[in-house]
Amino acid sequence: MSGSGLEPRAAALIAVAIGLLTAAVFSRVVFNGFITHYDDAVYVLENRMVRAGLTWAGVSYAFTSECAANWHPLTMLSHMLDCELFGLAAGGHHLMSLLLHALNAALLYVVLKRMTGAQWDSALVAALFAVHPLHVESVSAIAQRKDLLSTLFWLLTISAYLRYAKKPTLLAYSAVALWFVLGLMSKPMVVTLPFVLLLLDFWPLQRTTVRNSEGTAESRQVRLPISRLVVEKLPLLALTVVACVVTYGVQYRAGAVATSERLPVAQRAVNAAVSYVVYIQKTLWPVGLSAFYPHPRDTLPYWQVAAAGVVLGLITWAVVRRRAKEPYLAVGWFWYVGTLVPVIGIVQVGNQAMADRYTYVPLIGLFIAGVWGAVARLCQWQIGRAPRAVVMAVLLSVLSMLTWRQTGYWRNDETLFAHALAATENNALAHTTLGQTCLGRDDVGGAFEHFGKALEIAPTGPSGHIGMGDVLFRQNNVRAAIEHYRRAITLEPDNAVAHYHLARALGMAGEIEQAVAHCETALQFTPDSSKVHQKLAELLSRQGRYDGAAEHYAAALQLEPNDWEARAMLADVLQRMGKSEEASTQYREALELQPRNAAIHYNFGVLLERRDKLEEAAQHFEAALRLRPDLAQAAQGLDRVRAKMGSNAPPAPDSAR
C-alpha cells in the first residue's frame, strides 16, 4: 500500500523537477527582445489585430484570416492574450513561451511514464527534450509560439489516446479527436500524429496483442489485423487530409510555396536526405546552430548525398531487424522520420535548407530510441545505477550550458544574425537582416556593406536589392535607388515592399503618376497596410486629388486609430477641401494624441483664423511658438490675429516678442 501511494507522489515530484529545470535553463530568455526583422513583426509587432489584445474583432480575425502563410487561430489568440496581459513588453511574451515549454517537458514525462511504466527512462527523455539546444529557437522566438502550443495539444491527444486504448468508447475517442483538432488549429505540422498513434499501438501499448481477462498476453500472441487499427484512425486521418489541403492552399496563396516551383524536385529530395542526417548530427553535437540555414540548391557534394542515403538506409534496416526484441528503436526512429516529413523540404516553404524549430517534436522519437536503447545496453553490460546517474547528470549539464549560451544569441536581431553569419556560410538573409538593423540605427555604411555582401551571395534576391535601394535613398541617390527597387520588382513582381519603396523614391524624384501606380499595386498585395494608405494619400494630395487622399487617410486611421500623423494630414486635406468643421475635429483629435506638435498647432490656428475664431486661433499660434520659438509663420499668424482682435487681443507670449 505504501509503495503504491509513494509512486504517484514521486512521479509528481519528478514532473515538477523537470519543469523547474526547464525554467532555470531557459530563464534568460525573458530578458530578450523581439526579433523585429523576422517573423515576430508579422505575428505581433506589425499586426494591429494582435496588438489590440483579446477583442471580438481579433477572435474573428484569428479564425477567418491567414497570417504568415498559415491558418492557426489558436496560436494567434495566444499572441493576442499576451498583448492583452503584457502589451508589447517582450519579456512577458517570452515568459509565456517559457512556461509552455516547461509544461510540455513535464507533460511528456507524465505521458511516457503512463505508456511505459519506466519512470527514470521517461524522466531522462523529458529532461533531454527540456534542455536540448535545438529547441532554443522554438522557445526563444516569439513567432514560434505555434511549436509550443501545438506540442501541448499533441501530448494531450496522446494522453487522451491512452485512456481510449485502455477503454475504447465513443466519448474517449471524441476527446482524442478534440485535442487533435486543437493541435491542428495551432500548427498544421500536427498532421502526422495519427501515424504516431499507430506506432504507439505497436510499442509500448502493444495493442496488436490480444489480452485475456487477467490483463496478461495470451500465449498464442494472436495479432489483431493492422487494418482494424488503421480504420480506427480514419476520422483522424480525414482531419489530417483537410488540414493538409487548407495549409497548402493558404501557403500557395501567400506565395510561400513559390520556392518549390524554382527548386527542381531532385534538389529538394537530396537536401531532405542530407537534412535528416544533419539533424541527427546536431542532436548529438549541438553546436553551430543558426536562426537560418541557406538552402544549398545544387551545391551539395555527391559523396555527402550518397553518405546520407547510406546512413538512413542502414539505420532503417537495423531498427526493422531489431523490431521484435527492441521495438522502441523502430518506434523512435519512425517517429523521427515521419514527423519531419511535412517540413523536410519535399514541398519547399521558404528558402531555408532546414530549421532548428522543425525538430521540436521529431527529437522526441530520437530521445526515446536513444534512451531506451542505451539503458538496455548498460543493463546488459551490468553497469550500475550510480554510474548511469553520473553519465545522465553530466550529459544534461553540458546540454544545459549549451542551451544557456544559445539562448543569449536570441537577445536581438543583431546578436542573432551575427551569430548566424559565424555559424553558416553564404547566408544572404543574415546579411540582409543585419543591413536592416544597421539602417535602423542610421549606420548607412554598415548597411551598405551587408547589403552588398547579400547581393554578392544572392544577386537574384529581392530583399538585397530593396535594402541597397534603401541605403542609396538615405544617401539621396534617388535614381540609383529606383533602379534597385525596379530590379527587385522584376525578380518578384508581387513584392509589396518593393512597390512601396519604389513609390516613395519616385515621389521624391517628382514622378508622381508612376509613384501612385506602384503605391496602388502595393496596396493590392497589402490592403491592411496603414503606411501604404498614407503614402498613397500623400501622393494623391500632391496631385490635387484631395477626395482620394482623404479616403486613404481615413482608411489608414481605420487601421491605426492612434496614428496622430495620419490624422493631422487628413485634417490638412479636409482644410484644402473646404471642410472646415471636419478638419477641426481631426486637428483636435490629433492634438489629443500629440499635444506638443508645433506644426499641428500652427495649421489648426490657420484654420481657426479663417473661421474667424480668433481667440482660439491665437491660443494655437501661441502654443506653436512655445514649442518652436523659431517658427516664423506662427509669429506672423499671431500678429495677424492680434491685429484683427484689436484692443481685445491678449498680451503676446514672451517667445513671440
284-315 residue pLDDT tens = 999 999 999 999 999 999 999 999 999 999 99
Residue 574 located in a structural domain: no
Q: Position of cell 486609430?
A: 561
pLDDT tens, 481-521?
999 999 999 999 999 999 999 999 999 999 999 999 999 99
Structure confidence at residue 220 (pLDDT): 39
Residue 190 has pLDDT above 50, yes or no: yes
Q: What angle do CA 646, 651, 652 make, to 5 degrees?
A: 105
pLDDT tens, 8-23?
888 999 999 999 999 9
Amino acid identity of residue 333, one-letter, is W
Tell me the three state secondary structure of residue 217: strand
Amino acid identity of residue 533, one-letter, is H
In 475-613, alpha helices (H): 478-491, 496-509, 512-525, 530-542, 546-559, 564-576, 580-593, 598-610
Residue 221 has pLDDT above 50, yes or no: no
Distance CA 334, CA 263 (A): 27
In percent, the amount of the chain with pLDDT more than 90 equals 82
Structure confidence at residue 546 (pLDDT): 96
Least confident window among 9-23, 198-212, 559-573 = 198-212
pLDDT tens, 586-640?
999 999 999 999 999 999 999 999 999 999 999 999 999 999 999 999 999 999 9
User: Phi and psi for 221 in degrees, rounded to 5?
Assistant: 50, 50
Residue 463 located in a structural domain: no
Confidence of residue 55 (pLDDT cuts 50, 70, 90): very high
Residue 77 located in a structural domain: yes
pLDDT tens, 29-53?
999 999 998 889 999 999 999 999 9
pLDDT tens, 418-451?
999 999 999 999 999 999 999 999 999 999 999 9
Residue 42 located in a structural domain: yes
Residue 326 located in a structural domain: yes
Residue 127 located in a structural domain: yes
Closest CA to 517 of 538, 534, 500, 492: 500
Counting the structural domains of the chain, the total is 1
What would the mean pLDDT of 81-94 be, rounded to a whole number?
97
Residue 216 has pLDDT above 70, yes or no: no
Tell me the three state secondary structure of residue 70: strand
Residue 455 located in a structural domain: no
Kindly write down the DSSP assignment for every residue of 535-572, as one continuous string: HHHHHHHHTT-HHHHHHHHHHHHHH-TT-HHHHHHHHH
Residue 384 has pLDDT above 50, yes or no: yes
Structure confidence at residue 284 (pLDDT): 97
Domain that includes residue 71, residue range = 2-212+221-409
Distance CA 270, CA 300 (A): 8
For residue 85 the three cell numbers come to 496581459
Structure confidence at residue 547 (pLDDT): 96
Structure confidence at residue 2 (pLDDT): 37
Residue 162 has pLDDT above 60, yes or no: yes
Residue 504 located in a structural domain: no
pTM for this structure? 0.90
